[in-house]
Structure 1
């Protein structure tokens, strides 16, 4: 048995990594959604089409034939369910609310990756090579012992769950639990603890970094910070300079950008509802309003998503939401601090929309659209101050957002034109490209030709003559260069002969 354990430790490249139990700071009543059933709580899925899975297991677990069984010397490891009310056979409304809150927070932490964070357990065999289970339990567990959480490093897809002891986190504080789950899953994906390197003031350093300002790293002590993110060791005296996202990407593919990356490739907002008419105070006339929206995920630092809509001149309201907080005390679940900018169809900036220092998103903003036309909104991730001076960079400021605009809708036809003919090619043809300068919106007429389409034509006589003249001059230059090379070669041979 000892030899088997040693081999296991070598394979997993680490002893199990654990977290200490955390005392309660606020265990008062939470905002409990009433519209979700127990069965629905165990079918939550953030990205159901992904083959990669992070499974949150709340209903108890029996583990067989795993690295943990080998490590513990036990054929069977049985863990009880998540149980706040002392009745392990059922889940009450508050327990269901906790499950939803924890799931959504962990899904936000791993939103930049193509992975499905889910409460639907496909079975251990289905997770081999592509998934990781997090067992979230109450009561005794032979694996976790006195730890609030424990995991093997680099064990993703190897059948070794991470364990999170809910009764040692608060007890049963959803905020503490979701931080512990993302932390332990991070270990399974290869991440190490974020601590503080030795300094003159602290010669021993610190194994865990507790954060700065309202921010803390997920792989440090994240329980008490409002904003928690993955990081790359940008805070002062960081002991761990891992690029968290690069390490995770060894197991999970990064999501590509979902919306356009420029004005030209912008994504149209989708009309979702007709709003109540607005009434003019001066004329009493009412104006029908339309609401259009689109959600997305910022997945890479520096990414900007471009979206557009067609509107008549007048008032509009722009709302940019991120993953909402949960519970009394508003425990932030958003990793993304989001900002937006409004442009007209010429690319002129009309309005910057940014949250205040401590908020993750700004409140809805009322703007005046100066004329009928197409308008663009660019959504991007923001930093909060500087990581070297008590804030955080936009490195980990990634995640889900929802952009909504309420405006007076209108019809805008597509505008585009063919560009100038390009130079004559060696095959005596020229190419022109069609460029859309304003996309159709609001049900307007589309351009007859797609943006970026190309057409060709034979070169004109003048173009052919220019090509022939260019070719003739090029040949003369090449001939002169060849003659010069022959002369140099002959001179070198003469000098070599003289020297010999």
Structure 2
């Protein structure tokens, strides 16, 4: 039974958490518990008192005793009769302005609070081992975000012109397929009755009336704050609704003036409410991107268990930042006034809270965790920088304090230059770059210190060879007095640079160690013994080699790519007792392959497979028509993609497309290095390296995160593409999959958004005659075509917000917005 009682009662701010927050330093300890009797006795008492009120046709009242000599009269605004032994009541306290209560008893669980805002007192309900209900006084800061005000001098942003009639908010996602979700809800929200807000009454939150540009700016700030975690920050209601209630948090952005939720406040939240499974939102009452974004991260931080960062002396609830540097503040303090804000562990002087923000949010309590590491933390696994002529590029994320991402590149010698930048605005990652030679020796450390300078630019004069670039988060100043440590220096980075490209090919074979003796440069290709000899490379005569960034060389001890094999992904000065392989590889090579490095493909596929979370088909390919393979696996080779998340138990279709050598062989796929096997498949000789065959396996997989691998049992294979499909779900469009369109606005989705070059569309209904147009913010068409031709190429469009208009003859037009 659900019942809402509303009789003109004064709306009071309910600032109650349903479970304990983490204690903060120097704050008072909890008081002794007062015994209210057994759960059954308290439920019977509440039900009797509610029934008496209903019989008199008045709003029911219940007695809320907190001590032998003290009790409050609670006026019930909302009630649920949960079971014969359960009860849920929410309301305000008669005669006590600004006070409210919430109490839920179901089974063996007892949770709830009483909040007296004016006197800054709070009480919490719990159950002991005997099944008795206890109520005790607690520090109000353990359960409520109290007195979190707007910035000094803040003025409400005027509504955007035409906001009432504008299109739906632009759909943005920071990490599609993440475990958890944060919704920035800016277009108005109808709060249902029965939550802890508004004393249990319903509430219609008005739209924040933000422009698309301001929505995107606020989303960028919050996305970067939560970038280290497996959390998808989105503006899309449909994306949010696809997540379980205990793995999502709605943050309502709405005008605060006159609000009965928290009139005049900057934001409010229940502590630990992310996991409560009842969709209770948190709130922000500012639409300015910087102020509102800082408040949104702060309030969502509360829902993930974080308490306030203040100071003991002077006594303050919210620390506004280091006074000397003028650049930094903790997110759980007040980050309005500083350009750089971080998650904190209270390293500044006189901090009243030393809790580990990162450990709390990533812990098992909320089941969010960190996102998978995207690049190796060591030179041995360094990612090759992508090369275009002399240009070099890459991007990544520093997602943990100890994370260091390594990249490799080769040069013909001369001046190399690099720019390493975090996001364009609202960055958290303070970057330090380190340059190493091929032997791992440090050449230089590059860091721009102080004043919120997060990016790094440098040049160096280098000789010919292979080098390594390390990207790390760093500190600034003294974290106790005028700066911050590298603890919260986390987030996105991009690398752009230049280095003279080695000439004559992408890999050079040398007759002697240390890159001496006869040298022959080779472009990408397969070289048997005859092909090597034709280029001046003798049998068993290679002792060292250089490899450009983005490429690899597979050495074979026998002709025609057979026998033992060694994959070299970076320059190697001597193959004597080579640590990358077993035994001595000096003067052992009889045939070889020069290839695009499969490591970059592995990382690309890893990122795409994360979308299994959304039940989409995910696929990686270059030319499914047979023009180019995506990698090669020889007998005994194992390609693995780490951290693929299957969110629900169910049936999945595993497919991969390969071409075999002359003799064919056996190939298999598995999870977690063979602990879960999908069975072997015999591959006949396909008659050539570009004659493809597709392996398909329908398997049942339990929900969880796995490492997915493809293993060459015998024989060797070119790999063309890999695809995983959640059966019964949507398929994600890809380079060789049909592009789908639909007349239903609820089904049409765009990915990725924001987009760099290729915009994919996925829906449920195939429409081969679907056409699209792209409109800029002035309504002018800047692109058009047929969806059936493949993904929409938007690489040439300037940055901005666009509308995609999809039309099918005889059906309603569908529009979606995206950001370039």
Q: Same fold (TM over 0.5)?
A: yes
SS at match of 1:187: helix
Matches within 5 A, 1:434-445: 441=549, 443=551, 445=553
Alpha carbons of 1:353 and 1:232: their partners in 2 closer, same or farther (altered >3 Å)? same
In structure 1, what is the equivalent of residue 251 of structure 2?
Answer: 134
* Residue 249 (str. 1) matches residue 362 (str. 2): yes
The range that moved more, 60-69 or 301-310, is: 60-69
In structure 2, what is the equivalent of residue 216 of structure 1?
Answer: 329
Q: Aligned-pair distance for 1:160?
A: 1.0
Q: Aligned-pair distance for 1:312?
A: 1.4
Q: Aligned-pair distance for 1:368?
A: 1.9
Alpha carbons of 1:80 and 1:26: their partners in 2 closer, same or farther (altered >3 Å)? closer
* Residue 176 (str. 1) matches residue 304 (str. 2): no
Alpha carbons of 1:40 and 1:263: their partners in 2 closer, same or farther (altered >3 Å)? farther
What is the CA–CA distance in structure 2 between the aligned matches of 1:442 and 1:399, rounded to whole Å? 24
Match 1:50 to one of 178, 181, 192: 178
What is the CA–CA distance in structure 1 between the aligned matches of 2:261 and 2:199, rounded to whole Å? 7
Matches within 5 A, 1:312-391: 312-325=412-425, 333-371=426-464, 373-391=465-483
In structure 1, what is the equivalent of residue 103 of structure 2?
Answer: 7
- Alpha carbons 1:234, 1:388 under 8 Å: kept: yes
* TM-score normalized with structure 2 length: 0.44
- Alpha carbons 2:432, 2:456 under 8 Å: kept: no
Matches within 5 A, 1:96-107: 96-107=212-223
Alpha carbons of 1:28 and 1:355: their partners in 2 closer, same or farther (altered >3 Å)? farther
What is the CA–CA distance in structure 2 between the aligned matches of 1:379 and 1:195, rounded to whole Å? 32
Q: Which has the higher contact order (CA 8 A, sep 6+)?
A: 1
Q: Which runs of 5+ in 2 are unaligned?
A: 1-75, 78-87, 91-101, 105-109, 114-123, 125-141, 161-165, 511-543, 557-565, 569-578, 584-820
Matches within 5 A, 1:112-123: 112-122=228-238
SS at match of 1:55: strand
* Residue 149 (str. 1) matches residue 270 (str. 2): no
What is the CA–CA distance in structure 2 between the aligned matches of 1:259 and 1:208, rounded to whole Å? 36
Alpha carbons of 1:304 and 1:126: their partners in 2 closer, same or farther (altered >3 Å)? closer
Match 1:294 to one of 383, 390, 394: 394
- Alpha carbons 1:353, 1:362 under 8 Å: kept: no
- Alpha carbons 1:189, 1:247 under 8 Å: kept: yes
Residues 366-410 of structure 1, C-alpha deviation per residue, up to 9 Å, x if partnerless? 322222x21210001110122112211111111111112222222
In structure 2, what is the equivalent of residue 160 of structure 1?
Answer: 280
What is the CA–CA distance in structure 1 between the aligned matches of 2:360 and 2:508, rounded to whole Å? 44
Q: Aligned-pair distance for 1:25?
A: 6.6
In structure 2, what is the equivalent of residue 260 of structure 1?
Answer: 376
Alpha carbons of 1:323 and 1:211: their partners in 2 closer, same or farther (altered >3 Å)? same
* TM-score normalized with structure 1 length: 0.70
In structure 2, what is the equivalent of residue 207 of structure 1?
Answer: 317
Q: Aligned-pair distance for 1:53?
A: 0.4
Q: Aligned-pair distance for 1:134?
A: 0.6
More helix by share: 1
Residues 181-240 of structure 1, C-alpha deviation per residue, up to 9 Å, x if partnerless? 00000000010111112x4xx4xx211112113211100111101211010011111111
- Alpha carbons 2:475, 2:485 under 8 Å: kept: yes
- Alpha carbons 1:194, 1:233 under 8 Å: kept: yes
SS at match of 1:116: strand
SS at match of 2:272: coil
SS at match of 1:129: helix
Alpha carbons of 1:56 and 1:446: their partners in 2 closer, same or farther (altered >3 Å)? same
More strand by share: 2
Match 2:496 to one of 393, 396, 404: 404
Q: Which runs of 5+ in 1 are unaligned?
A: 33-37, 84-90, 167-171, 274-288, 326-332, 417-435, 457-500
What is the CA–CA distance in structure 2 between the aligned matches of 1:370 and 1:440, rounded to whole Å? 14
SS at match of 1:255: coil
Match 1:73 to one of 200, 214, 237: 200
Residues 32-91 of structure 1, C-alpha deviation per residue, up to 9 Å, x if partnerless? 9xxxxx86952111101213101111111112255235x6231x32111112xxxxxxx6
SS at match of 1:17: coil
What is the CA–CA distance in structure 1 between the aligned matches of 2:456 and 2:205, rounded to whole Å? 44
- Alpha carbons 1:66, 1:160 under 8 Å: kept: no
SS at match of 1:320: strand
Residues 258-305 of structure 1, C-alpha deviation per residue, up to 9 Å, x if partnerless? 10111111011123x4xxxxxxxxxxxxxxx43221111111113211
